[in-house]
Amino acid sequence: MNDLGFPVLSLMLAVPMAAAIVCLFVSANTARWLALTATLIDLALGIVLWMNYDIGGAQWQFVEKAALFDRFSWALGIDGIALMLIMLSVFLMPICIGASWEAIQTRVGEYMAAFLLMEVLMIGVFAAQDIFLFYIFFEAGLIPMYLIIGIWGGANRIYASYKFFLYTLLGSVLMLIAMFWMVNEAGTSDIPTLMAYDFPLEAQSWLWLAFFASFAVKMPMWPVHTWLPDAHVQAPTAGSVILAGVLLKMGGYGFIRFSLPMFPDASVDYMWLVFALSMVAVVYTSLIALVQSDMKKLIAYSSVAHMAIVTVGLFAFNRQGLEGALVVMLSHGLVSGALFLCVGVIYDRLHTREIDRYGGLSINMPRYALLFLLFTMASIGLPGTSGFVGEFLSLLGIYEVSSWVAIVSTTGIILGAGYMLYLYRRVAYGVIKSDDVAAMPDLNKREIALLLPIAIVVLWMGVYPESFMAPMRNDVGALEARLAAVKPVGDAQVTPGTAPVLTPAAHAEEGHH
Amino acid sequence: MNYALWFQLASPEIVLSASGLVLLLIAAWGGVQSSRLVSVLTVVALFGALALSFNFLLGDSFANGADAFYGQYRMDRFASLSKVLIFLSAIGCVIVAPKFFARDNMMRPEFPILILFASVGMGLMVSAVDLLTLYIGLELNSLAAYVLASFLRSDDRSAEAGLKYFVLGALASGILLFGMSLLYGFTGTTSFIGIQTAFADGVSTGALFGIVFVLSGLAFKISAVPFHMWTPDVYEGAPTPVTTFFATAPKVAALALTMRVAIEAFGGQQAIWQQIVIFVALASIILGAAGAIGQVNIKRLLAYSSINNVGFMLIGLACGTPEGASAMLTYLVIYVAMTLGSFICVLDLNDREGHPVEDIGKLAGLSRTRPGLAAALAIFMFSLAGIPPLFGFWGKFVVFDAAVAAGLIPLAAIGIAASVIGAFYYLKVIKVMYFDEPADVIAPSGSKARMVLVAMAALFLSPLGYFTTLALSPVTADAARALFWAA
């Protein structure tokens, strides 16, 4: 079993699952409280998990295994990377429930059930140690998200929900075929074993591409990112938070867990593909973000740009790049989630996401303006916030591999500052243009309770990232070791210079002048 | 010659035939009033045959199967598993039918009796190891089916469905017979194993034609592309309980028969039929999915869905391996549950006057007016689309796993990519039920029996279904192995 003496990961899946079923049959208010309780229990279990995680101990901890099914088994277990992503999920979930407390008034029971189911599937994705179990959790997330967007979404929700569903489904079906091949070849569906298995070189390319199709859509990478702005704009606030906060991270997690360790040679071969797509994404989506008039769309495009920094960092094949990418993932999960919450706060008051309708909010909503400013700065990557740590490390990592990629990716930070500050100026500064904006009240207690915890963690991660990086260090090290054999030679060959030897004669000569 | 043993092996069919004849007499004397009694007795008889088949399937006494009637008939685990599925589907159809026909006062005792005789024919089909038994079983089933399709005599659509089914079915039987005569002419035998022996050293051109014709005739019966055209019309026109029956039991029987013919009779010449099956499978998947997109009638939609699903099952056959056959049987089990469940849901869609509602648009907002039924239908749709964690995914999982293991990776890749097209129209049904404003057309259910059946199917197809895989897989693997006994 594990150190705790009870199957903590299964319990973390069972609690929201049970609550989801009950939510379907109870009244709206009961469903809200039940969902909040269940997600808080999961958060508590997550903290227990983190407290008991033995940093520097076994690579896989809290391992559970039960042969419940034919051909695949109920195998759960986490390493430091999965631990951090599970923490992100369980941390954001109560906030999502809180954000929907008043915004969702129709079919509350079903809504809460869909979110709790979503939580089960997210934790399942990060904890699964069987490749098919992973696939089931990974794909199953489509169903609740489809319903969340389609039932509680905005005006154009049907189109967005279809696009989300079919895009991601098409991306991942080929991955399943690749998984079949791998399991046939290696004779096991156990992820840790597969991570150490050396697949034949000619097969790796195909397998890598099949997995890439899935993760690139999920991530999302340019040019298969177009589902994301639609899904974000139409989804309810909490749906956007979970989409940006956790679902996008599944793509990055997939690269770390599957593509890089299982197909190291193919990863190097296709490194330039990833770099090219990422560079386009950084510049292109940042420029698109600059001209958006819809707040949610702007943040959605900024997500694509930030995720491109993640892929660049991951394919740098060195410690700085990998750790940086992971921190960007965590940081972006918090910051973009918080930004969507900020949009949700004013959307609940004015029912529009048009940037031009707002202005001067720092006059009548000072507390809101302060928190919004903090998250804007974190999104830009200001030192002291979580965004800085991740982006700095990622770019440092990639600089070792390719100066050009580093230079192009760095423009993302400048452009990021451009569109985020421009957004903030238009929303918070200036004069109040209309009476209905002037009448908007500042944050209430519930909203502060949602945003403040995120703000604290964002600063914590910015000032003392060691708390978050320590559990992942050994796992990044293991991955780096796995990739060491194929690591490409970078173009930044820094060679220590030799100091000019100063001879006494030279001194003497100098002395004459 | 051991008649006692032979009768024992054929006991499921004998029980059904005998009860069918007795029930005919009851119906002749009792008239329309006896229809309830006849229905109940039919269910009892089918349960009896089901129990016998179950016994053969799980018992050890005939673990390796046995031949009867001079090599015309074989009882093995493959046949028994198919019969279990066939009889279960038939029971479901007999149970849900009376309520449907009662509205038009059209319930006749002949309905359950026809299903009974069709079941006898299907039992023979899956046990046939000789072209003659095959044909007799097929025709016994088809004749009953033609009558069933036009059971609502006064309804134009039903009469049209019956006629269409009959004309095209007769054509297909002709094609099949022609192929069989070629096979007999070029191999000198009608027994499957004899044909396999004759094919051991090559296939002559004439016999090749025979193979193609036989497979074409069978493709019609399983409604695989390019012989699928009758399916949407017949499914739409036939009374819904009859459609439920057509989409389940005869499909199982015809697919099982196709498997036995391909693997046993043509087993030595896999390269020849494999390419045909691959083409038919991909064409069925793609056309079944694309054809469904524009449909507004839910029965037509399900007809295309069944064409689509047959395509996925044929991928299992295309592998030509025991794993492929086992995967196909697993898919068949899940397919029966999905189809039975969704058609019974359709049966329960009636407006306030009791008229059946088949227009998908009228299901708008069903999740508010009838949350239970909508949830069940959503489970069936997501299952048919093969989205995990619903159990419908498992069918696709095993089939594609077998295809990859058999080295048919391009086939698997194209097939699974085409399944995304299918997801589109299944999503449409869910969208109408969950996202649209209620149209409030559908009346509350009046039938507990239907709800129980729907709930059972939905429970099986929910993620809980995965817990049955440990029990199900050995059974299908055993059944599949029975097909390869001569290989």
Domains of chain B, by residue range, sit at: 268-487
Q: Kindly report the three-state secondary structure assignment for every residue of A96-162.
A: HHHHHHHHCCCCHHHHHHHHHHHHHHHHHHHHECEHHHHHHHHHHCHHHHHHHHHHHCCCCHHHHHH
Burial zone of B71 (CB within 10 Å; 0-12 exposed, 13-18 middle, 19+ buried): middle
Both tokens assigned to B47: 């349960």
Do the Cβ atoms of A355 and A259 come closer than 8 Å? no
- Percent above pLDDT 70 for chain A: 96
The secondary structure of chain B in percent helix, strand, coil, rounded to multiples of 5, reads 80, 5, 20
Task: Tokens 């025979």: give the residue.
Answer: B210
Q: Mind telling me how many Å the CA of B473 is from chain A's nearest CA?
A: 7
* Closest residue in B to A124 (Cα–Cα): B389
Dihedral angle, C-alpha B361, B365, B370, B375, nearest 10 °: 90
Closest CA to A385 of A341, A331, A308: A331
**Does the structure show a pLDDT above 50 at B197?**
yes
Distance CA(B193)–CA(A126), nearest Å, equals 52
Distance CA(A396)–CA(B97), nearest Å, equals 71
Query: Does residue A367 sit within a domain?
Result: yes
Q: Is the link from the previous residue into A223 a cis peptide, with omega within 30 of 0?
A: yes
Please report which helix (H) or strand (E) contains residue A78, including its range.
Answer: strand A74-78
pLDDT of residue A505: 61
Mean pLDDT calculated for residue range A233-257 = 90
Mean pLDDT calculated for residue range A227-233 = 88
Please report which helix (H) or strand (E) contains residue A65, including its range.
Answer: strand A61-66
Mean pLDDT calculated for residue range A300-309 = 91
Please report which helix (H) or strand (E) contains residue A447, including its range.
Answer: helix A445-463
Chain A positions touching chain B (beta carbons under 8 Å): 67-71, 107, 132, 135-137, 139-140, 142-143, 146-147, 150-151, 157-158, 161-162, 165-166, 169-170, 173-174, 176-177, 180-181, 184
Three-class SS of residue A172? helix
Both tokens assigned to B125: 């089909």
**Does the structure show a pLDDT above 80 at B476?**
yes
Distance CA(B365)–CA(B346), nearest Å, equals 15
Contact B423 A161 (CB under 8 A): no
Closest CA to B307 of B251, B268, B258, B358: B251
pLDDT tens for B89-127 read 999 999 998 888 887 788 888 999 999 999 999 999 999
Distance CA(A155)–CA(A182), nearest Å, equals 43
Mean pLDDT calculated for residue range A440-444 = 86
pLDDT of residue B269: 83
The secondary structure of chain A in percent helix, strand, coil, rounded to multiples of 5, reads 75, 5, 20
pLDDT of residue B365: 85
Task: Tokens 């199709």: give the residue.
Answer: A213
pLDDT of residue B325: 93
Query: Does residue A270 sit within a domain?
Result: no
Query: Does residue A196 sit within a domain?
Result: no
Write out chain B residues lying below 8 Å of A169, CB-based: 387, 420, 423
Distance CA(A292)–CA(B483), nearest Å, equals 63
Both tokens assigned to A101: 């407390």
Distance CA(A235)–CA(A155), nearest Å, equals 10
Do the Cβ atoms of A171 and A213 come closer than 8 Å? yes
Distance CA(A107)–CA(A104), nearest Å, equals 8
Do the Cβ atoms of B272 and B208 come closer than 8 Å? yes
Q: Is B484 on the interface with A (CB under 8 A)?
A: no
Both tokens assigned to A183: 């399991």
**Residue range of the domain that includes A310:** 277-491
The letter for the amino acid at A297 is: K
Closest CA to A315 of A381, A402, A390, A248: A402
Distance CA(A340)–CA(A228), nearest Å, equals 14
Pick from B398, B424, B434: CB nearest A166: B424
Average confidence score pLDDT of chain A: 88
Do the Cβ atoms of B453 and B344 come closer than 8 Å? yes
Contact B404 A71 (CB under 8 A): no
Count of structural domains within chain A: 1
Local confidence band at A336 (pLDDT 50, 70, 90 cut-offs): very high
Please list the residues that pair with A190 across neighbouring strands. A130
Quote the ipTM score: 0.91
pTM of the model: 0.92
Local confidence band at B482 (pLDDT 50, 70, 90 cut-offs): confident
Pick from A136, A177, A180: CB nearest B389: A136
**Does the structure show a pLDDT above 90 at A135?**
yes
Task: Tokens 């009796």: give the residue.
Answer: B113
Write out chain A residues lying below 8 Å of B470, CB-based: 67-70
Pick from A165, A173, A181: CB nearest B404: A181
**Does the structure show a pLDDT above 80 at B446?**
no
Distance CA(B242)–CA(B222), nearest Å, equals 16
Dihedral angle, C-alpha B467, B418, A164, A335, nearest 10 °: 70
User: How, if at all, do strands B73-75 and B66-68 pair?
Assistant: antiparallel
Write out chain A residues lying below 8 Å of B382, CB-based: 143
Sequence length of chain A is 513
Beta strands in B3-77 (DSSP E): 66-68, 73-75
Please report which helix (H) or strand (E) contains residue A201, including its range.
Answer: helix A201-218
Distance CA(A21)–CA(A18), nearest Å, equals 5
pLDDT of residue B368: 87
pLDDT of residue B170: 92
Write out chain A residues lying below 8 Å of B473, CB-based: 70-71
Mean pLDDT calculated for residue range A141-158 = 88
Closest CA to A368 of A435, A454, A444: A444
Local confidence band at A494 (pLDDT 50, 70, 90 cut-offs): low
Contact A184 B431 (CB under 8 A): no
Q: Which residue has the higher pLDDT, A501 or A26?
A: A26
Mean pLDDT calculated for residue range B193-206 = 88
Contact A69 B434 (CB under 8 A): no
pLDDT tens for A443-481 read 888 889 999 999 999 999 999 999 999 999 889 988 888
Please list the residues that pair with A76 across neighbouring strands. A64, A128
Q: Which of A450-464, A496-510, B161-175 shows the lowest per-residue confidence on average (mean pLDDT)?
A: A496-510
- Can you say how many angstroms the Cα of residue A295 is from the centroid of all Cα atoms in its chain? 19
Mean pLDDT calculated for residue range A211-220 = 90
**Does the structure show a pLDDT above 70 at B458?**
yes
Average confidence score pLDDT of chain B: 90
pLDDT tens for A67-108 read 888 888 899 999 999 999 999 999 999 999 999 888 888 888
Pick from A67, A150, A177: CB nearest B416: A177
Distance CA(A299)–CA(B113), nearest Å, equals 66
Q: What is the DSSP string of B187-248?
A: HS--BHHHHHHHGGG---HHHHHHHHHHHHHHHHHTT-TTS-THHHHHHHHS-HHHHHHHHH
Q: Is B293 on the interface with A (CB under 8 A)?
A: no
Maximum Cα–Cα distance across chain B: 68
Please list the residues that pair with B356 across neighbouring strands. B350
pLDDT of residue A1: 45
**In angstroms, what CA-CA distances link A513 with A422, A502, A505, A510, B226?**
57, 16, 13, 6, 99
Q: Give the count of beta carbons closer than 10 Å to the beta carbon of residue B9.
A: 24
Do the Cβ atoms of B414 and B407 come closer than 8 Å? no
Do the Cβ atoms of B272 and B266 come closer than 8 Å? yes
Distance CA(B437)–CA(B440), nearest Å, equals 9
How many interface pairs between A and B have CB atoms less than 8 angstroms apart? Answer: 85
pLDDT of residue B1: 65
Do the Cβ atoms of B411 and B404 come closer than 8 Å? no
Closest CA to B423 of B390, B455, B451, B445: B390
Contact B424 A162 (CB under 8 A): yes
Do the Cβ atoms of A241 and A340 come closer than 8 Å? yes
